[in-house]
Structure 1
Amino acid sequence: MNRLAFNCLKHFILALVMLILQYSCRLSVAAGDTLSMGASLREKQTIISKNGTFELGFFSPNGTNKWYVGIWYAHISVKTIVWVANRETPIRDMPGLFTLSSTGYLTVSDLQEKVMWSSNNTQQTKASRASILDTGNFVLFGAQNTSEIVWESFGDPTDTRLPTMKLWKGMKVNSWKSSVDPAPGPFFYQINPSPGKTDLIMQYKNGILYYSTGEWTGKYFANLPGTQWTGNIKLEFVVFSPTKMYYTYKVEPKASTMMLRNVLNWNGQEVIYSCTDNNSWTPIWYQPRTSCGVYGVCGPYGVCFTQANIESCRCMEGFHPRNPTAWSSQEWWSSGCVRRTPLNCAATNGSGSGTTDGFLQVTDKSLSDKEPFQIMSDSTLRGCKTACLNNCS
């Protein structure tokens, strides 16, 4: 090989090595609990809090090929997710990248470098590093003031509140869409947005109110005297003004080894879970007491029932799920049920004669106060049937 060819080969190899080093540096991860500026996480890379409790990285719910960036308990065998970044925009082709960009913002991107999520939407100041804390809070520290927190996962919650997390007036906790889909579901709760109000309100769908804790009394919520724990949990509600206040809870020092999480489940129940053996969770408080107590949880023409202590939904007789896929995912409220056979009342011109429509008596059910009713002089079952057959609406 002549000298010219040798020099060309040497420069090519050197350029290739530099390119590989640059790519490796882009994917490098700061050791331990911190992401430095320009560093990224890939599929099997994680960072872990100093006390080893919380871990952050990519995860995929069972039975799906969708990938999210989230936070979970590092040493619990069943992965328990407490926060999700790109909950509405999963990555379908791994590996993706979770990066603290050189511009000082967090991003989740796919192989084509399409940004699926960014902290830029709520982050006001650029960051220099990101750390997962022992509390489970993932925080960004400022570029100008390196001790200033400029963004935190506690300020952008999904379905879970951890001890010491402050739920400020104006923040919402939103359930998952289903047990395997962290996209925002129909259930959410918040401090009552009305000025001066100190109750927590739970809503679903388009903001329909179905539950309120009652006003804060100074020790507990008026409708929930059971929240006046004298044991291992301390509640705190701090009011600065009619529009600025927060609610939080803490684990008492005597129970410092107990792990707690407050979750708004995808079925519309708020549950506090306790874990003392680092392996399993036990519900110690929940509200509403029953999912079937939430109006419309099964959607139009759906019936909520309990069997073997498991609450579920079914369609009323003569009806079937409007969206079988949604129902198989237990998203009953999203579509409800539709008639198997259309009514032929209209074909009889409302006369009620010659119709094949019939009736079934349904007990122990309630109707919404938004349902239209007609007051009849004859309130017997026969009178009700006649009135319905003569009025197709």
Structure 2
Amino acid sequence: MGLQDKKDIFSFIMINLLLTSIVSGSTDTITSSIPLKDGDTIISSRGLFELGFFSPGNSKNRYIGIWYKNIPAKTVVWVANRETPVIDNSGMLKITNPGVLTLTNDKNTIVWSSNVSKAAPNPIAQLLDSGNLVVRDKNDNINFVWQSFDYPGDTLLPGMKMGKDLVTGRESYITSWKNDDDPSTGEYTFGCDVTGYPHQVIKKGQVLQYRSEPWNGIDFGGISVLPQNAIYKFDMVFNEHEVLYTYKMFNSSMISRLTMNHSGVAQRWVWADQAKDWIVYFSIPAADGCDLVCGAYGTCAINSFPKCGCLDKFVPKYQNEWNGANWSKGCVRKRPLNCKTDGFVKHANIKLPDFQYSMFYKNVTLAQCEKLCLKNCSCVAYANILKTGGTGCMLWMGDLVDIQEGPSFSSVLYVRMASSDLGLFTKMCKHEGFD
């Protein structure tokens, strides 16, 4: 056998090995010369995530998705073409210059495509072990021209971010599927709201369904995403340019995800390897139904019956409706404010009110915060929201809505009251300059 024959055989073997590797899913990349066909997959380098075509639930439509490779029940964490499925098995995912991912059907029509921030001379698409699908130049491992983490679906993975770019106004949040058979955009979103101070919200369309307390430097009041724990650590980036929430696992072998389901419930899931199943670590809103139900100046207590009451020195606005468990109209003051002679009543173990009509002042002490509120006759309450020893003042200018109370809440709220409603001890303390 001649040298050329040996070279030809060697080339034939190498090409077939390469093709076999690609078809079997042992590669983590898509190149411009070899697209991804329906039936093929790519797998991240450590075998944690897999990308390919799938059909959700009872649907026959085909979508490009990313799921956990080694979890028995296929758990999809990201879908590319949520709104535009391929109706048969003709789909093909390609990477083209200058670095655009395109999904085409049997007519070679583009069904879905990514965008590109800058050109990549030799573009490839790579599935990382984080579950992030990135487009980059094959000679540049650091700079991505596009990444799936910038476009979350119904799942937030470790390292993924949600929040708002305060310069461009672009927001990122997780959005429910329509149903188990349809991954297109559903009614519910879970993300960060920067009104007043960053906090987490669930909305149905534009209607608020749930809100957390504000970020206090440690957590969101210890309720919305739970305090720091042995499983994961979360953080907020909050400056003049951006507001971003993210989290990471303490132990890389543990698997956890945050989802927004089509019933309007955000859930933290942890994979239990021994049980071979997902365990719900927490859900919001909580099943007690204490969110946004008691009206202005009403308070909700999870373990009380009835669960709605009024703040001290407030009474139901419409007593008959209140007695019939219609608490939506809330409560009113027994005595009107005077502005010049008003004081404050301290309420501990409170979930702070809605921030729609609030203002935040940085580097302001609690005593200074009280003075700011007293000077403004529209100010009805104040609080220091930071738990890290810092100074930060929140003022409320409208009715106080969505107040909850209980030992699981750690915030303190100071509510403006007419002087005649202030107790003797409160008056003495204020006269003597004590808190």
1:30-179 matches, cutoff 5 A: 32-120=27-115, 123-127=116-120, 128-142=123-137, 147-169=142-164, 170-179=171-180
Quote the residue 2:428 is aligned against: none
- Structure 1 unmatched ranges of 5 or more: 1-20, 297-362, 370-393
The 3-state SS of whatever aligns with 1:213 is strand
Deviations 1:343-367 (A, max 9, x none): xxxxxxxxxxxxxxxxxxxx99869
The one-letter code matched in structure 1 to 2:221 is A
The 1:208–1:258 alpha-carbon spacing in structure 2 relative to 1, beyond 3 Å, is same
The 1:294–1:114 alpha-carbon spacing in structure 2 relative to 1, beyond 3 Å, is farther
Moved more, 123-132 or 40-49: 123-132
The 3-state SS of whatever aligns with 2:219 is coil
The 3-state SS of whatever aligns with 1:88 is coil
Question: What is the alpha-carbon distance in structure 1 between the residues aligned to residue 324 and residue 107 of structure 2?
Answer: 55
Question: What is the alpha-carbon distance in structure 2 between the residues aligned to residue 114 and residue 288 of structure 1?
Answer: 42
2:253 is equivalent to residue 257 of structure 1? yes
Deviations 1:182-234 (A, max 9, x none): 0000001221144x6311121112x1111111210111102627611332111
Q: Choose the corresponding residue for 1:269, options 257, 265, 269.
A: 265
Quote the residue 2:181 is aligned against: 180
The one-letter code matched in structure 2 to 1:179 is D
1:1-393 matches, cutoff 5 A: 32-120=27-115, 123-127=116-120, 128-142=123-137, 147-169=142-164, 170-194=171-195, 197-205=197-205, 207-222=206-221, 224=223, 227-241=226-240, 243-253=241-251, 256-277=252-273, 279-290=276-287
The 1:79–1:245 alpha-carbon spacing in structure 2 relative to 1, beyond 3 Å, is same
The one-letter code matched in structure 1 to 2:280 is P
Contact kept in structure 2, 1:38 and 1:101, CA below 8 Å: no
The 3-state SS of whatever aligns with 1:230 is coil
Contact kept in structure 2, 1:34 and 1:129, CA below 8 Å: yes
Contact kept in structure 1, 2:160 and 2:246, CA below 8 Å: yes
Please state how far the C-alpha of 1:32 moved relative to its aligned partner: 1.1
TM-score, normalised with respect to structure 2: 0.57
The 1:144–1:116 alpha-carbon spacing in structure 2 relative to 1, beyond 3 Å, is same
Question: What is the alpha-carbon distance in structure 1 between the residues aligned to residue 30 and residue 324 of structure 2?
Answer: 56
Question: What is the alpha-carbon distance in structure 2 between the residues aligned to residue 156 and residue 226 of structure 1?
Answer: 21
The one-letter code matched in structure 1 to 2:178 is K
Question: What is the alpha-carbon distance in structure 1 between the residues aligned to residue 52 and residue 291 of structure 2?
Answer: 35
Please state how far the C-alpha of 1:113 moved relative to its aligned partner: 1.2
Please state how far the C-alpha of 1:77 moved relative to its aligned partner: 1.4
TM-score, normalised with respect to structure 1: 0.63
The 1:93–1:213 alpha-carbon spacing in structure 2 relative to 1, beyond 3 Å, is same
- Structure 2 unmatched ranges of 5 or more: 1-14, 165-170, 294-322, 330-435
Contact kept in structure 1, 2:194 and 2:243, CA below 8 Å: no
Please state how far the C-alpha of 1:180 moved relative to its aligned partner: 1.5
Please state how far the C-alpha of 1:238 moved relative to its aligned partner: 1.6
The 1:293–1:93 alpha-carbon spacing in structure 2 relative to 1, beyond 3 Å, is farther
The one-letter code matched in structure 2 to 1:187 is Y
Question: What is the alpha-carbon distance in structure 1 between the residues aligned to residue 245 and residue 236 of structure 2?
Answer: 4
Contact kept in structure 1, 2:57 and 2:180, CA below 8 Å: no
The one-letter code matched in structure 2 to 1:246 is L
The 1:240–1:43 alpha-carbon spacing in structure 2 relative to 1, beyond 3 Å, is same
The one-letter code matched in structure 1 to 2:228 is W
The 1:74–1:290 alpha-carbon spacing in structure 2 relative to 1, beyond 3 Å, is same
The one-letter code matched in structure 2 to 1:43 is D
Question: What is the alpha-carbon distance in structure 2 between the residues aligned to residue 175 and residue 365 of structure 1?
Answer: 31
The 3-state SS of whatever aligns with 1:163 is coil
Contact kept in structure 2, 1:164 and 1:250, CA below 8 Å: yes
Please state how far the C-alpha of 1:153 moved relative to its aligned partner: 0.7
Contact kept in structure 1, 2:26 and 2:42, CA below 8 Å: yes
Quote the residue 1:318 is aligned against: none
The 3-state SS of whatever aligns with 2:213 is coil
Contact kept in structure 1, 2:64 and 2:79, CA below 8 Å: yes
Please state how far the C-alpha of 1:96 moved relative to its aligned partner: 0.6
The one-letter code matched in structure 2 to 1:199 is H
Quote the residue 1:333 is aligned against: none
Deviations 1:139-177 (A, max 9, x none): 111479563111111100000001121223121211101
Deviations 1:108-145 (A, max 9, x none): 1111111111002xx22234111111111111114795
Quote the residue 1:339 is aligned against: none
Please state how far the C-alpha of 1:244 moved relative to its aligned partner: 0.7
The 1:295–1:116 alpha-carbon spacing in structure 2 relative to 1, beyond 3 Å, is farther
| Identity within the alignment, % | 33
Please state how far the C-alpha of 1:89 moved relative to its aligned partner: 0.5
Contact kept in structure 2, 1:257 and 1:276, CA below 8 Å: no
Deviations 1:318-341 (A, max 9, x none): xxxxxxxxxxxxxxxxxxxxxxxx
Question: RCO (CA 8 Å, sep 6+): is it higher in 1 or 2?
Answer: 2
Contact kept in structure 1, 2:265 and 2:285, CA below 8 Å: yes
The 3-state SS of whatever aligns with 2:134 is strand
The 1:364–1:68 alpha-carbon spacing in structure 2 relative to 1, beyond 3 Å, is farther
Contact kept in structure 2, 1:125 and 1:142, CA below 8 Å: no
**Number of residue equivalences:** 272
The one-letter code matched in structure 2 to 1:62 is G
Question: What is the alpha-carbon distance in structure 2 between the residues aligned to residue 134 and residue 31 of structure 1?
Answer: 13
